[in-house]
Structure 1
Amino acid sequence: MRLLVTGAAGKVGQVFIPAFLADPRFADWEIVALCHNRPVEQGERVAIVSGSLSDAATVAEAMAGVTHVLHLAAVKESPGLIFDVALKGLYLLLEAYRGSAASRQFILLSGDCVVGHIFQPYDAPITEASARKAYPGCYALTKVLEETMVEQFGVQYGVDWTTLRAPWIMEKDDFRFALDFGDGQFGGPPWTEIVDEAALARYRNGRYVPVLRDAGGNYLKRNFVHVDDLVSAILASIANPRAYGQLFNIAMDRPVDYGAVGRLLKAGADLEPIEIDTPFHSNWLDNSKARMVLGWAPEVGLEQLAERAFHYEREENDPRVVWYPG
């Protein structure tokens, strides 16, 4: 078997490839890594194809002999790139895939931007059957179109597809910097959009942790997943007939409650909770389907997420990389 991984050098790809190569279930599989801006290390079972997804010749080269595709490549709020990568690139991949006699499964990594994460309200847990309600911006729009394109290739041509929909993906010290009031803040929206200048200056000079409240005045509940748990879900999906033609929410069992974050970090890191009102909505991305159908379960909850992030120490050769603007 031969697995094509797009976006192989990105945040998820860098964790996925070593995990895949170490998994005895895939001991006789090979990987083709399609890389554009960043390379990955070539090895005995890893071949590299360099180029753009928008180039048909590059896609054809990468797809040669491929049985399974894991499409991780994405761009965020980059209007000049979205059509080439998210639409043309995916279309070229799907066309090459459906035209190949070797093809077995096409896996798409999507995101909870498709359902608006904290920007759109839902009055019940968000399941795979919930309406798609993207938040404003080109990235969320492209993910809606990607999910739809993959599904329709299944309808039109019988493609065996699987879509994994993940919320905010955490690794290393990401969660710590998601709560940072300084210039190192990871993700968004920027504090300058929801905190006045004088208060923000005071928070930056002290040991504080933001405790967000939602539009209803309750503590905000936002969905996260650790990259290790996402990778384990991908591994559980590959070559799994129960995953064919299915969309799965891949998230922590419970959304992160910012009230609980404040209490946890006050006790464990001596940080003072600062309550901040926001216009955002609390939502719950329900992972029940993935637990039942894939036999998958996340291992990282809030306490483990905080423990890992606040105790992570970087070496000199491990610079903090923001793979995309949150």
Structure 2
Amino acid sequence: MKLLVTGLTGKVGSNFLPEFLTTEKFSGWSLRAVCNNRIIDHAAVEIVRGSLSDTDAVHAAMDGVTHVLHMAAVKESPDLAIDVGVKGMFNLLEAFRTSKTARQFVLIGGDCSVGHIFHRYDAPITEKSARRAYPGCYALTKVIEEVMLEQYRIQYGINACCLRAPWIMEKDDFKHVLSFRDQFGGPAWREFLAEEEIDRLAAAGAVPLLRDVTGASLKRNFIHVSDLVSAILLALDNPAANSDLFNVAMDIPVDYACVATQLSASHGLPVVTIPTPYHSNWLDNTKARMLLGWRPAVDLKRLIERAWSYVRAPDDPRLVWYPG
């Protein structure tokens, strides 16, 4: 078996590689990675240089490949997002469907295809819920990827599945999600607070308790990178994953009120309430639990504990994997 991976140098890829190489199920498999801007140097990985938008490079990379894991993504950089999310996806699928060796295509999708906190859903978001991208090219490309994969299954009968993940956390990411000083991701505090107030809250080490459009505490979906990696390993070469879409997220969404309560109790941090126009949603992972036998191991308590106990070594700088 030969696995072709895109995005191997990113957050998920760098966590996936050591787990894949030490999992008995994949002993004897070979690994090839398509790399463009960042290159991985590992004896177990064959590198193919080139852009996913380059048809010839993608077809060359597919030579002899049995399985594809497509994780490469670009945030709010329109030209690159189209190259990876549209041209790249099309090139990969075309090379896959015309290959004599290809057996399974696995896509890592995102809950931006269902708008995560930007759109209201009156019930838990399942794999049957309507796709509703929020503004921006990244969410649009994630919808296009899901639809393109679905249509290739319909048009050509290929074996392909999508693992739809929410915001992916590792190391001290979650601590920085809640930070007023060195924030990771959104929402941008300046949309709700004056700069002087942000500085004051940062100095106090305050924790934001976000409220949704109804005034209730905001509930948003997350997943720890280790749980996403475990879902990928389960889906690869698994007949139960054939031609399907799976939500993979924590069992229940993160409740910002519970976060505030836990951090106030465990670290004595002050709490500030911030009203927002966002919607609380629940990404239902029942299908992945039932069909794949997947279980997320990191709940809210562990997510907080891991983020606050993580100590960075001098050779472990904090990285922002993509803009936006």
CA distance in 2, matches of 1:37, 1:268: 42
CA distance in 1, matches of 2:120, 2:230: 29
CA distance in 2, matches of 1:167, 1:175: 13
Partner of 2:180 in structure 1? 181
CA distance in 1, matches of 2:158, 2:272: 50
Deviation of the 1:62 alpha carbon? 1.1
Partner of 2:73 in structure 1? 74
Deviation of the 1:172 alpha carbon? 0.2
Give runs of aligned pairs for residues 191-202 of structure 1, distance below 5 A.
Answer: 191-202=189-200
Which SS does the other structure have where 2:250 is aligned?
coil
Which SS does the other structure have where 1:3 is aligned?
strand
Deviation of the 1:39 alpha carbon? 1.2
CA distance in 1, matches of 2:86, 2:124: 29
Residue 132 of structure 1 aligns with an amino acid whose one-letter code is: R
Deviation of the 1:175 alpha carbon? 0.1
Which SS does the other structure have where 1:162 is aligned?
strand
Residue 127 of structure 1 aligns with an amino acid whose one-letter code is: T
Is contact 1:116-1:135 (8 Å) kept? yes
Is contact 2:106-2:163 (8 Å) kept? yes
Which SS does the other structure have where 2:204 is aligned?
coil
2:207 to 194, 209, 222: 209
CA distance in 2, matches of 1:161, 1:207: 45
CA distance in 1, matches of 2:322, 2:269: 27
Is contact 2:227-2:296 (8 Å) kept? yes
- Is 1:133 equivalent to 2:132 in the alignment? yes
Q: What's the TM-score once normalised by structure 1's chain length? A: 0.98
Which SS does the other structure have where 1:303 is aligned?
helix
Partner of 2:12 in structure 1? 12
Is contact 2:210-2:274 (8 Å) kept? yes
CA distance in 2, matches of 1:245, 1:134: 22
Partner of 2:320 in structure 1? 322
CA distance in 1, matches of 2:38, 2:312: 21
Residue 259 of structure 1 aligns with an amino acid whose one-letter code is: A
Which SS does the other structure have where 1:123 is aligned?
coil
CA distance in 2, matches of 1:29, 1:308: 32
Residue 234 of structure 1 aligns with an amino acid whose one-letter code is: I
CA RMSD of aligned residues (A): 0.9
1:265 to 254, 263, 266: 263
Deviation of the 1:31 alpha carbon? 0.6
Partner of 1:100 in structure 2? 99
- Is 1:30 equivalent to 2:30 in the alignment? yes
Deviation of the 1:81 alpha carbon? 1.4
Deviation of the 1:277 alpha carbon? 0.5
Is contact 1:2-1:31 (8 Å) kept? yes
Residue 127 of structure 2 aligns with an amino acid whose one-letter code is: E
Partner of 2:167 in structure 1? 168
Partner of 1:275 in structure 2? 273
Partner of 1:145 in structure 2? 144
Partner of 1:300 in structure 2? 298
CA distance in 2, matches of 1:136, 1:240: 35
Q: Deviations over 1:195-254 (max 9, x none)?
A: 233322211221210110000000000000000000000000000111011100000000
CA distance in 2, matches of 1:147, 1:109: 9
Partner of 1:235 in structure 2? 233
Is contact 1:187-1:325 (8 Å) kept? no
Q: Deviations over 1:249-274 (max 9, x none)?
A: 00000000000000100111121111
Q: Deviations over 1:44-64 (max 9, x none)?
A: x32111111011221122111
Which SS does the other structure have where 1:91 is aligned?
helix
CA distance in 2, matches of 1:51, 1:269: 47
Is contact 2:180-2:205 (8 Å) kept? no
Which SS does the other structure have where 1:33 is aligned?
strand
Is contact 1:213-1:276 (8 Å) kept? yes
Is contact 2:175-2:304 (8 Å) kept? yes
CA distance in 2, matches of 1:267, 1:254: 21
Q: What's the TM-score once normalised by structure 2's chain length? A: 0.98
